[in-house]
Structure 1
Amino acid sequence: MSEQSPLDPAEGDPFGPHNLPYGVFTTAGEPGRPRVGVRLGNHVLDAGAAARALGSPYAALLDRPGLDALLAAGRTAWRDVRRALTAWVTVPAHRETIEPLLHPLDAVTMLLPYQVADYVDFYASEHHATNVGRIFRPDGEALTPNWKHLPIGYHGRSGTVVVSGTEVVRPSGQRKTPADTAPVFGPSVKLDIEAEVGFLVGVPSPQGRPVALGDFRDHVFGLSLLNDWSARDLQAWEYVPLGPFLGKSFATSVSAWVTPLEALEAARTAPPARDVPLLPYLDDSAEEEPGGLDIRITVTVNGHVIAEPPFATMYWTAAQQLAHMTVNGASLRTGDLYGSGTVSGPEVHQRGSLLELTWNGRDRIDLPDGGRTFLADGDEVTMTAWAPGPDGVRVGLGEVSGRITAAPAG
């Protein structure tokens, strides 16, 4: 019996030819030569080598050490390259050429696939924002007065965005509880996760020219799972009056795989009903395409499922976030990354942060190796996800994973 070809992934594989996410990898034989890859099942196609071998005009975009050239090429090029790649892995005439260019996924090293230009993170889940408000303002309104009028966000640190698999060092900083007379310095004792989806900008925009809702797909190339690690104790002491700073900037993990928006057409869904009128630049009620996405996320700690947040419940869409991010004239750059904010649903098991799951440490999560309120050194957090695809098949999103290591001594 002949061995199954990597060009023939199992039926229903969430990383089949209907998906084809992009990444950047190296091989053991050439560790210093990063190259663009496309995932098919449990293999990675060397996209640049395939383009060269087939004499494709897209070699100029794919035969690169990163995705930046492809990102900047624009929507028409994104569509045409995707069509070409689909043909390369499905048309029988190409099999002899393409098959030797596929590498087993477990035999390559995945890298951060693009240069992160700017990083912005939002706060777009009504369930998450309501839970946080109830935790910290139990006697007041859960949502702030501006929450349903605009997508709240903060400007993060692009230099500490890291690829899945990178270890996360426990951050140190100032913290002060209500019982303390003065702040103390030391490692965070409330290290948390935030299950998010990150959106990747391809085509830039000039300063002074806002990006309209309807232009979202002309600028955003695709998306990835994202974990916005958060030191809640550092954050609680520092964030008044200017918001998150050192409690967030130490690390943000993203998947090694970028799923193109075109792979998610079947996952489009209407966002939740809005009960507050929106200003015209955010009003998506007349948009032809629904702005929400039906993405099902699973969060594990040390292999144990702790949450299953549903992205379809997000109040603010990625298009609204992009419109708001640029409405003041702020420019976009190729490689800009923005996070959706923590994804949480209405049920307890759908909460996308330990802050919510443990109600700020009041309740413990039971794991096989002991209870948790926040992360312990050695804990490994992994997020996976899928979305509905064509003809009932699932579209897999590349996982994002990170393991906590102890803060440096001293």
Structure 2
Amino acid sequence: MDPLVSWLSVDSGDTVPHRDGSRFDFHCGVHKAVRAMMADALLAVGRMDASDPAEVGQVCQRISLLMDLCTAHTLRKRRLLHAAIEARAPGTSDLAARGCRHQAREFAGLRAMAQTLRGSPQSLRTAAAARLYRGLALLVAENFQRMHLEESAYNVVLWSNYSDEELAGLHGELMASVALDEAYALHWLLPCMNPAERLFLLSRMEAGARGDAFENTLSVARARLAPGEWRKLACGLGLIDETGGGVPRKGAWDDAGVMPIRDARVLEALRAIHQHPARAWTVASLARLCHLSRTAFTMRFRRQTLLPPMTYLANWRVELAARMLREERLSLDEVAERVGYSSGAILARAYKRILGAAPRIHLIGSGGGQPGGS
């Protein structure tokens, strides 16, 4: 058993102070995403057709990706969080470090089980799939218990040694690292958060020195959140003028799906992109449409959307592609043609770059009650 789970099991967490939300909870948002990823992966393994080699390969790839993400998160916690605890309360992080090492071994074991299943002959695949399912179920159960204990009893150590502002700073550093290294984790993290948690995360990134992390996270949020969720986040960040600002609109979005923009020329470009995503747009062609020079257009576009024009275009195309793959069951090549890519392979590369995983993995993840999506 995980040593941290064993040690902390003496306290159910019912008497831990500040469970009323009055203190900053370092773990909450990330743990929501981890719980969702683990539960959805368990469902995917449970409903997998072990006689279909392609499906087995896709699910095993997904399990390996999940184990890689969990391992990276564990190492990141050791480097940032546990080091910070050790600096204020020497010796208190030893048990947590042992727990992280235990988790790393468990993650490696599940990854090996997935590889074994993938390489098994047909006659042994059903049994190997059952072993993977049971092993993953045990890992999920233990990690759910561990996360509960970290959110309750272990938080006491943090609250006793750090102010909320200091904890928020550590949390921002952790999230910036995730945003830059693991876009697929953001694919789960942002839809699992509540509006206040999302706004806090993006606000801290925007105010900090990690502008690249903010842009990466904002791109994923635009692609993954439902329109109402995105509107709340955009309003909170000041990307949408809630008072109207002289911009005519119906509700939060206009008929082209474009968020309200103060600059009429930029709005013209955005509507063109949204209405005709398959056109071979360039910065020059969009600038001509707006009767601006390339430099002036790029500056004004970025000021309004926080993204360069071609980045916005790529994000919109991938968002449309994800929606078509989920809802219309088209082939990748068919979707690529509709959204402006010359082949499914090129679309797949853009998809992975922006959303952090191949289209097929996201299709598997869209089932089983996956939150979010637009």
Q: Could you state the TM-score of these two structures normalised by the residue count of structure 1?
A: 0.24
Structure with higher helix content? 2
RCO comparison, higher one (Cα < 8 Å, 6+): 1
